[in-house]
Structure 1
Amino acid sequence: MAADYDLLVIGGGINGTGIARDAAGRGASVLLVEMGDLAGATSSASTKLIHGGLRYLEYYEFDLVRKALKEREVLWRAAPHIAWPLRFILPHHKDLRPAWLLRLGLFLYDHLGGRKLLPATKTVRLDEAPYSQGLKKLFSKGFEYSDCWVDDARLVVLNARDAASRGTDIRTRTKCVSARREGNVWKVVLTDLASGEDKTVTASALVNAAGPWVAEMLHGISGVHNGADVRLVKGSHIIVPRRFEHDRCFIFQNGDGRIVFAIPYEGDFTLIGTTDVDYTGDLAQVRITEDEIDYLCRAASEYLEKPIAREDVVHTYSGVRPLYDDGAKDAKAATRDYVLELDGGDGGPAVLSVFGGKITTYRKLAEHVLDKLGPFLPFKRGPWTADAPLPGGDFKVDEFDAQVAQLEKDFPFLGKPLATRLMRLYGTEARKFLGESISPADLGRCFGADLHEIEVKWLMDREWARSADDILWRRTKLGLRLSREEAAELDTFVSGYLAEKTGAAA
């Protein structure tokens, strides 16, 4: 039986979209289904770092750290609009890890991953500017090292957009209800959650990249006997008003062996996280607990000159990491590396399930998935993503400021703050929706915080946004700036625009 698609990918997080993009670029016909919004769960709830994972060295995960470190500059080059370097300050806490151990770890961190563009580690005086700002005076010595930042949800959307440009059929708000082998293909029942309609499609191979739902999804795939277990670990973050003016980030050691980051966020805020807590609750209702808020406030306040109180918290978010259960006693010690489980069906169509992984290594994960599926799929080329920019990222890593200046010159009515925000989100693609605009009136209605109708329509027409939450908390992060009333007005506009489009299509 000829299949409708070569590959059906279940899950619209970073792993699913990365796999779909890579497979489409190799010539496969691909369908990706996501039951919610793209990056609607774990992939928009990270600490938003492209990093090797300094603390994983303590657990001897050298291969994971090396693999992740090598990817930092690859991803930075692919998306210089949504990714950029950060410098992290690690204060020496005399009651925790000794200075020589920190120096050794950072030496390995500098040299494991083939660093070329990022600056090396250096020892710094924390009682001198700019390092002293924000910290308690008792910390006088520290280390400054490099990692990178990425807008995690936009990374997912850009992978999806590139996959779609290469022929991938992407369906959000679509749930995979069941899958069973029928001869040489998978027969898959999909439900459109907006209309309630079911549709059956066939595929030559499946990828189960359902994130926290990976085990649940396996139960709906008949004939698969997979012995792998998933360990669900929740990570939570808090956002508070900005605590220091410099652009450095802090990484704080804690007495329980964990670390907490304090990172400048969206201009006026500081992002603090994360926790590591085993999770057994409802995956549709993942929330930070009071204990987690207290933990993060206490951990950061041990270092910061101005303590953080619960009433300082302006926003929180939480996500559940679907880690491979390696039997580690503590959640913080469970491996962050990915595990790929292939079921070849004794000659029938294959299904591959993805356990674990980090946002930093998603591209390598996609390559390894397709290596395993190579015998089952008609690829026309090999790996290709290492040197391919994501949409809007077709400029050099040191050209961001020049790109902003040129955008402001070509559209002078924007002003520098809006030109910078649009370049950070869309890169060179900002010009596509600005089009022939010559004045603020051409941008249409403003919903608040310089979010205009022309941008909202782009997000709905080209980036699968279907609600105010999709736009404000994943596509733009402007949820921190719009009032509840403004968000409600945006939701009304989105609903009306969708109804208008649906009516026009009918």
Structure 2
Amino acid sequence: MNESEHAQGASFDLDAIECDVLVVGGGINGCGIARDLAGRGYSVVLCEQDDLAAHTSSASTKLIHGGLRYLEYREFSLVRKALAEREVLLKSAPHIMWPLRFVMPHDPAMRPAWMIRLGLFLYDHLARREVLPGSHGVDLRQHPAGVPLKPQYRRGFVYSDGWVDDARLVVLNALDARERGARIFTGARCVQARRGADGWNCTLETAGHASRAVRARALVNAAGPWAESFLRGAARPAHGESLATRSLRLVQGSHIVVPRLFAHDHAYIFQNPDQRIIFAIPYQQDFTLIGTTDLELDGGDPRAGRITPGEIDYLCEQASRYFERPVTPADVVWTYSGVRPLLDDASGNASAVTRDYFLERHTDAAPLLSVWGGKITTFRKLAEDAADAIGQMLRDPRPAWTEGAALAGGDLRTWLDEAGRRALPADQFERFVVELQRRHPWLDATLARRWARAYGTRVALLLGDAAGPQDLGAEVAPGVFERELRYLCDEEWARTGEDVLWRRSKLGLRLSEAQRAQVAAWMQAHAPAPSLSDAA
């Protein structure tokens, strides 16, 4: 169905949905905004053309961090905001986010020690810390982090940030939004958005060409890498002018995963001769994650982002400058790439483009809010600012609420005794695992820990009335039971093997090609197709 046919009035398979706000985009920003708005009592619909976190939001470096390197670009406001958000996020979902200590080996040819100490002092003090310890110097000849490094790296610096399962963070926000009344439609693209004086008339369409009208008082454009093209296409006014007044720079960031390079639990931040940095991070117990790159994409479809041989060589080369055992392309077991939608600030260097966000309001007719840029660490604050803006534009402001609120499954304290509730978030998680195994002693310890990490307190919903291993259903692949797959279909919008193996989990790293195919076949046989019904 083409645009003119939509404009003349398509036949809809279901009655139109009426809502306060339609959010276009199911990445971290879109889901965060939907959650915040729904929690304020607005009626919300969110549509995502693919799976939740299918693109940029599942392809980050998995860090909740202030952005130490942004201090060099004098992005003090962004760093302060991100540092404050670290603490908020680590408390909100301790099962998918936890503290991580980073080691920076000192290379005098890169930056002098006094500059690093000054930067770390600012990093420690720009925002209040309750969960994370401060930075300090370290003798790498005596510290476990020095063991895998080349002997010339004798001195280093240790500081704190956090780790996050990025794709699950998106799903948790969507779950929380739904529990607060939002309607979430995946596999549903907004193919038309026509603006009136007091509302938007929109059309959602699935790949199977089912369509449904949505009438919203306000529209949020949180389409990430597609934010600009959405305004120039589906949301273009009938007379042909574009609502897009900003431009995005699409910058590809690629990562490689290799077998574990070190046994300790710290991560590394390495300085490169090109003034960039890369991280080497403990990943999924048996692997090391190395990234990222900054490769500018000129036009094209953001879906087409793929790691290049040059990016693989670059990451291997830079990591090998520090590790005693070289990292080679032959070591790589998995790669992924994401396209960052960065607000074009005319910076010549892609690495220098701001990671801050900008919320653009259009109020000359029905409210439109476009989200430009952003980073995963500041998504909650971005969502709060966006919900404030929507309330103002609708002349119906409602109070913020997400700071201090647990994300779906993150209320671990409800399972713990008084001592556990007073513990730090990382310790709360360990106590939660013990309590889960106490309540279900028949549950395999490895599976119990994986489910605790993935689902938090929502593991009770997954387990339901299961009283033993026999109640988990068939083992479709090693450690993957039908009960979990049905839960992911029913509760978390999973539709394909890829949704399960690479976003809802990273089980794809541990399963063979044949085992991954078994999971994909089960999903194809049992998962429902994307739907625009109210029960979706």
Superposition TM-score tier, normalisation by shorter sequence: over 0.9
Tell me: CA distance 1:449–1:261, structure 2 relative to 1, closer, same or farther (3 Å): farther
Distance 1:32 1:91 in 2: 44
Distance 2:275 2:303 in 1: 30
Paired residue type of 2:283: Y
Give the Å deviation of 1:406: 1.2
RMSD: 1.6
Map of 2:422 onto structure 1: none
Paired residue type of 1:372: A
Give the Å deviation of 1:491: 1.4
The answer to whether structure 1 residue 483 and structure 2 residue 497 are counterparts is no
Give the Å deviation of 1:183: 3.5
Q: 2:186, 2:530 within 8 Å by CA — same for their partners in 1?
A: no
1:387 pairs, out of 378, 381, 404, with 404
Map of 1:364 onto structure 2: 381
Distance 1:489 1:354 in 2: 39
Aligned pairs for 1:7-156 (under 5 A) are 7-156=21-170
Q: How many residues get paired?
A: 499
Distance 1:449 1:329 in 2: 48
Map of 1:422 onto structure 2: 451
Paired residue type of 1:326: D
1:236 pairs, out of 247, 251, 254, with 254
Paired residue type of 1:208: N
The answer to whether structure 1 residue 207 and structure 2 residue 220 are counterparts is yes
Q: Deviations over 1:361-413 (max 9, x none)?
A: 00100111122222333757310000110111112513111110111122222
Map of 2:372 onto structure 1: 355
Q: 2:187, 2:530 within 8 Å by CA — same for their partners in 1?
A: no
Q: Deviations over 1:145-187 (max 9, x none)?
A: 0000010000000000000001101000000111111341101
Paired residue type of 1:496: A
2:351 pairs, out of 313, 332, 342, with 332
Aligned pairs for 1:430-441 (under 5 A) are 430-441=459-470
Map of 1:251 onto structure 2: 269
Map of 2:492 onto structure 1: 463
1:163 pairs, out of 174, 177, 192, with 177
TM-score, L = length of structure 1: 0.96
More displaced 10-residue stretch of structure 1: 118-127 or 128-137: 128-137
Distance 1:392 1:440 in 2: 23
Give the Å deviation of 1:60: 0.1
Distance 1:431 1:227 in 2: 47
3-state SS in 2 of match to 1:147: strand
1:305 pairs, out of 324, 334, 346, with 324
Give the Å deviation of 1:24: 0.4
Distance 1:394 1:451 in 2: 25
Distance 2:395 2:480 in 1: 43
The answer to whether structure 1 residue 286 and structure 2 residue 310 are counterparts is no
Paired residue type of 2:274: D
Unaligned runs of 5+ in 1: none
3-state SS in 2 of match to 1:231: strand
Q: 1:408, 1:419 within 8 Å by CA — same for their partners in 2?
A: yes
Q: 1:26, 1:380 within 8 Å by CA — same for their partners in 2?
A: no
Map of 1:196 onto structure 2: 209
The answer to whether structure 1 residue 225 and structure 2 residue 280 are counterparts is no
Distance 1:501 1:290 in 2: 35
More displaced 10-residue stretch of structure 1: 394-403 or 63-72: 394-403
Unaligned runs of 5+ in 2: 1-15, 414-424
Tell me: CA distance 1:338–1:133, structure 2 relative to 1, closer, same or farther (3 Å): same
Q: Deviations over 1:455-480 (max 9, x none)?
A: 11111100000000000000011010
Paired residue type of 2:210: E
TM-score, L = length of structure 2: 0.91
Distance 1:381 1:449 in 2: 48
Tell me: CA distance 1:500–1:39, structure 2 relative to 1, closer, same or farther (3 Å): closer
Q: Deviations over 1:22-67 (max 9, x none)?
A: 0001110000000000000000000010000000000000000000
Give the Å deviation of 1:501: 11
Distance 1:133 1:25 in 2: 49
Distance 2:395 2:483 in 1: 40
Give the Å deviation of 1:500: 10
Give the Å deviation of 1:222: 2.5
Distance 1:133 1:81 in 2: 30
Distance 1:243 1:60 in 2: 33
Tell me: CA distance 1:301–1:79, structure 2 relative to 1, closer, same or farther (3 Å): same
Q: 1:204, 1:376 within 8 Å by CA — same for their partners in 2?
A: no
Map of 1:404 onto structure 2: 433
1:323 pairs, out of 328, 342, 346, with 342
